[in-house]
Structure 1
Amino acid sequence: MCGRYVLYLSPSTLESYLRTSGLAISAAPDAYQPRYNIAPGQTAPVITLAPNSGENVSLQLTPMKWGVTLTATTPSATPQQQWTQINTRAETLAAPTGFWDRLKPYRCVVPSNGFYEWLPATGQPHHATPSPGMPPLLFAGLYDPSTNTYTIITTPSSTTLSFLHARMPTILSAGDASRWLNADTSWDALQPLLVPWEGGALEVYPVAGEVGKVGNDSPTFVDRVSERKDGIRAGLERQRIVAAAAAASPSKEKEKEKKMEKRMAEDEPPETPPPGKTLKKSDDAKELPTPTPVKKTKTTKSATSNAANRRSPKKTKKKPTPDGNRKITSFFK
C-alpha cells in the first residue's frame, strides 16, 4: 500500500517537467508548499483533465483531499456503511462492476518525489525515491469530482520493494500518464499500465521514525537516518571532534601541573659546574673559581673516651676569696 508520500518540487519546477514530458498544464498551477509527509485526509496537488478540454487534451493541477469515501450500494445503506479508501487495488478495478465502476472515467495522476513504507518485522520506516537523474514519480489514481477527493492505485510490489511491503503505488512513465489521463482511452486498454514498476531504479533506505506521526513535516524526513544531524554518523563525528579538541588543548589539570613545574624550576638554585668548567646558561655566565677542596681529618676515638664524652660535664665551684667571703659585684657603689 501507500500510506505516506512526499512532494517537494516547486510548482514551477513541476510544471516545467510536465510540459517537457508532453503533459502541459493549461494554466499556472496554484501555489503549494513543499511537503515531506503527506498523510491521508490531507490536501495535495493532483493532475486531472481540465473541464471541457475537447479533442485537445488539456490538463490542470488541482488540490484535492487524499481519500475517497465509498458507500455500500444496498438500498438500506446507512452512514455507518461508509468508509474511506486511500488506496485501491488494481486487481479490484479489473472487475467490470463494483464500488469503483462509477469512478473509472475520473482518472488522475498524483505527482510525487517518493513514498514511505514500514518494514513489517521491525516497524522501521523506509523511503523509496527515484535514483539521482530520474524524473519525479507519477502515481495512477482515481478521483471523485463530487467530493474533490482522490485515491492511489496499488499493484503487487516490484522485486526492489518486495522485502519491504507486498504492495506499492502504480508508477507511470510520462507517456503512460498521458494515456491514463486521455478520456478516449478505453478501460481495457489501460489494464497493461497497472503493473509493478520496473522502469527505473528506486533507492530505498531507512529514515527516522518521526514520519510516522501525522502532522510532522520536515525536510530531514527524507534523509538517510545515518546521515542526519542527529544520526549515528553525525554522533560519531561529534565524538571525533571533541576528542581532537581535547588533544589539541590540554586540560586545566595538565596546565596546573606545567605551571607548578615551571615555578619549581625557577626556585631551584643554579647548578654548580664541575671544577674548571663554566656555566652555559647564558652569554653572561662567567667562569667560577675552582673551589679549594677541604681535607677532612679522621680522629680515632676509643670506646672509653666515647663513653666519657657521653657523661655530663662536672660543675666547677668557684674558689672563695682569701677572707672567706665570696666576691660580689660592687654595683652598690
Structure 2
Amino acid sequence: MCGRFAITLPTDAMAQLFAAQPANDLPKVPNFNVCPTNPVHVVQAGDTGRQLVSMRWGFLPHWYKSESAGPLLINARAETIAEKPAFAKAARERRCLIPATGFYEWTKSEDGARLPWYIHRSDGAPIAFAAVWQNWGADDPVKTCAIVTTAANQGLSAVHHRMPLILEAEDWGKWLGEEGHGAARLMQPGPEGVLDYHRVDPAVNSNRAEGTELIEPFGEDDIPRGQLI
C-alpha cells in the first residue's frame, strides 16, 4: 500500500517536469508528511493539455452521501481496479499521476514497535505514482484521487508486500490516455534496482510531524526484520 509520502519538488519544477499548466490553488511544498485526506498535486490530461491541479487524497465514490460514508479509499489495487464498482470507470476514463519525492512504509519490531522506512528512487529523481480520480458531490464537486498499488517487487518486499505503481516518463502519456489504449499493461511491479530505502525517525508515525528530518536516515539501516505491517 501507500499511506504516506513526501513531495519536495517546487511547483514550477513539477509543472515543467510533466509539461503541465499549474492551477492557482496547489498545496504548499515542501511537505515531508503527506497524509490521507490532504490535498495533493495531481497531473491530469485535458482537451487543452496536461493540468497540474489539487485533489483530495482519498477517493470518494459517487454513492457516498458524505466524506465519511464509507471506507477511506486511498489506494486502488491494480489486480482488481477494473472490477471494483468504486474504481472501474475511473480506471477506464480518469487516470492521473501524483508526483512524489518518496514514500513511507512500516515494519513491526519483535517487541511490537512500528519502524518507519523511507523509500525513494535510487537516482534521486522524482517519482510519479499512477492514480485514478473522481469528482464527488453535485453542487460543489470535490476532486478526489487514489494511488494504484501492485504487489511489491523483490527489492521492496522486505519492507512491505505492496507498493505504489510507479511509472517512468515514457509511460506517462499512455497512463494518462494521451496515446490510446494499453494502460492495463503498465499495472505490474516496477523493475528491480529503481528504489532504495532507509530507516527514518519514528516521529513520522504521527500525522502531525513535519520537517526535512523526517526523511533523513535514522538508527540501524539493515534489512528489515520482524513483522511487516
* TM-score, normalisation: structure 1: 0.58
Return the letter of the residue paired with 2:103.
F
- How many aligned residue pairs are there? 210
Shift, 1:103, TM fit: 1.7
Of structures 1 and 2, the one with the larger relative CO (CA 8 A, separation 6+) is 2
Helix, strand or coil at the partner of 1:12: helix
Higher helix share: 1
Percentage of matched positions with identical amino acids: 29
The answer for the alignment partner of 1:172 in structure 2 is 167
Q: In the alignment, which of 193, 210, 220 is matched to residue 217 of structure 1? A: 210
User: 8 Å contact 2:117–2:198 — kept in the other structure?
Assistant: yes
Supply the distance in 1 between the matched residues of 2:17 and 2:54 (Cα, whole angstroms): 18
Paired position in structure 2 for 1:315: none
Which of 30, 33, 36 is the equivalent residue of 1:34? Answer: 30
Question: 1:203 maps to which residue?
Answer: 196
Output the CA distance in 2 between the equivalents of 1:79 and 1:136: 30
1:152 and 2:147 correspond: yes
What residue number does 2:58 align with? Answer: 67
Aligned equivalents of 2:213 and 2:202: distance in 1? 11
What amino acid sits opposite 2:36 in the alignment? P
Matches within 5 A, 1:224-235: 224-226=217-219
Shift in Å, 1:15 = 2.5
Tell me, yes or no, if the aligned pair for 1:207 and 1:222 is still in contact at 8 Å: yes
Partner of 1:265: none
Mapping of residues 1-333 of structure 1, within 5 Å: 1-18=1-18, 24-27=19-22, 32-50=28-46, 52-53=47-48, 58-70=49-61, 82-95=70-83, 98-104=85-91, 105-121=93-109, 122-132=113-123, 134-146=124-136, 147-182=142-177, 185-186=180-181, 189-198=182-191, 200-226=193-219
- 1:265-301 per-residue CA deviation (whole Å, 9 max, x = no partner) reads xxxxxxxxxxxxxxxxxxxxxxxxxxxxxxxxxxxxx
Question: Quick one: which amino acid aligns to residue 141 of structure 1?
Answer: A
Q: Would you say the 8 A contact 2:23–2:53 is kept in 1? A: no
Which digits, 9 at most, give the CA deviation of each residue in 1:95-119, with x for residues without a partner?
3x62212322111100000000001
1:6 is matched by which residue type in structure 2?
A
In structure 2, the CA distance between the partners of 1:3 and 1:163, relative to structure 1 (3 Å rule), is same
How far 1:185 moved relative to its partner?
2.6
**Cα offsets for 1:18-63 (capped at 9, x unmatched):** 3xxxxx113577553211000001111110113x33xxxx101101
Which secondary structure does the structure 1 equivalent of 2:183 belong to? helix
**CA RMSD of the aligned region, Å?**
2.5
Which amino acid is 2:170 matched to?
A: G
Deviation track 1:286-331 (CA, whole Å, cap 9, x = no partner) reads xxxxxxxxxxxxxxxxxxxxxxxxxxxxxxxxxxxxxxxxxxxxxx
Local SS of the residue matching 1:119: strand
- Residue ranges of structure 1 left out of the alignment (5+ in a row): 19-23, 228-333
| Counterpart residue identity of residue 185, structure 1 | G
More strand by share: 2
Scaled by the length of structure 2, what TM-score is found?
0.82
- CA shift, 1:7, in A, is 0.3
Q: Is the CA contact 1:120–1:165 (under 8 Å) kept in the aligned structure 2?
A: no
Instruction: Give secondary structure in 1 for the equivalent of 2:204.
Output: helix
Q: Which runs of 4 or more aligned residues in structure 1 lie more than 6 Å from their structure 2 counterparts after TM superposition?
A: 77-80
